Structure 1
Amino acid sequence: MSCTIGEASKASGVSEKMIRHYEAIGLLRPLREANGYRRYGEADIAVLRFIRHARDLAFPLEEVRRLLTLWQDRGRASAEVRAIALAHVAALEEKAQSLQRMAESLRHLAAHCHGDARPDCPILDGLEGKTSC
């Protein structure tokens, strides 16, 4: 079975633009016909689904590349995959803590804003650096 980029997009849930991008950065290598058109087989669709799921979990592209290489290597040890996943969990948790601190800072600024017709605004002052959070 071989399909067009549009069909591959529908089958994988990855936009045509992203499929072209993944090809440009070497994550995907579809067959090219003599006329230059790309043709995608079942293996290409599987790769696209893998990439989409990894990106849905917020893996950066370089980590997706590493995971894709490991996924395609049936002789790989799962320990490396686990290490990548756990490192990503740690990065996500750090990002979540950072986002929580930002939300707390903004909540603090908003609590000190009267939200009325007066021009003074602790939120804007805080963004300017006039107040500390």
Structure 2
Amino acid sequence: MKIGQVSKQTGIAVETIRYYEKIGLLPEPARESSGYRHYSEDHLRRLLFIRRCRSLDMTQDEIRELLDLAGQPGRNCQEVDDLLARHLSHVRTRLRELQHLEQQLERLRNTCSNEGTVEQCGILGGLTEAPDPIGHNDHKNHIPGSHGH
């Protein structure tokens, strides 16, 4: 099948499929004599696996590790469980950070009286103060998928 068909069946953009090939998450498909890529059912299954992992906010390295483990069916499943445990720990940390962020935004929003001018705005004034150090995160995980192991 051609890349457009694979894109429709997986819901993954053509550019993203090519990107996954470029970074090695998806093996390059065979080429037809016309030069078009020919994707197999294995490509389709792998792309669906990758899409599901991305929907769980897994990094490319985590997906690569899972694909590697999936390619070695005789290995101990504990390695898969360990990877998922690390990812779950990271997600829980991010949830705590997001809850703290929500509290900060609520406190900031509560400084607004809705009466007065922009010059008197408590929100804008609050944004010039030093950030709240509680929950400070050096990992900058506000970007989905930006975490490591």
- For the criterion TM > 0.5, the same-fold answer is yes
- For 1:126, the equivalent position in structure 2 comes to 126
Whether the 8 Å CA contact 1:122–1:131 is kept in 2: the answer is no
Structure with the largest fraction of helix: 1
Deviations 1:69-96 (A, max 9, x none): 1112211211000000010000001001
- For 1:43, the equivalent position in structure 2 comes to 42
- For 1:23, the equivalent position in structure 2 comes to 21
The CA RMSD measured in Å over matched residues stands at 1.7
1:48 is displaced (CA, Å) by: 0.0
Whether the 8 Å CA contact 1:4–1:39 is kept in 2: the answer is yes
TM-score, length-scaled by structure 2: 0.81
CA distance, structure 2, for counterparts of residue 12 and residue 132 of structure 1 = 43
CA distance, structure 2, for counterparts of residue 19 and residue 43 of structure 1 = 14
Runs of 4+ in 1 over 3 A off after TM superposition: 130-133
Residues 32 and 128 (structure 1), Cα distance of their counterparts in 2 relative to 1, 3 Å cut: farther
- For 2:72, the equivalent position in structure 1 comes to 73
Question: Secondary structure in 2 aligned to 1:94?
Answer: helix
Unpaired stretches in structure 1, ≥5 consecutive residues = none
Question: Secondary structure in 1 aligned to 2:127?
Answer: helix
TM-score, length-scaled by structure 1: 0.90
Give the number of aligned pairs.
Answer: 131
* Higher RCO structure, 1 or 2 (CA under 8 Å, sep 6+): 2
Residues 116 and 36 (structure 1), Cα distance of their counterparts in 2 relative to 1, 3 Å cut: farther
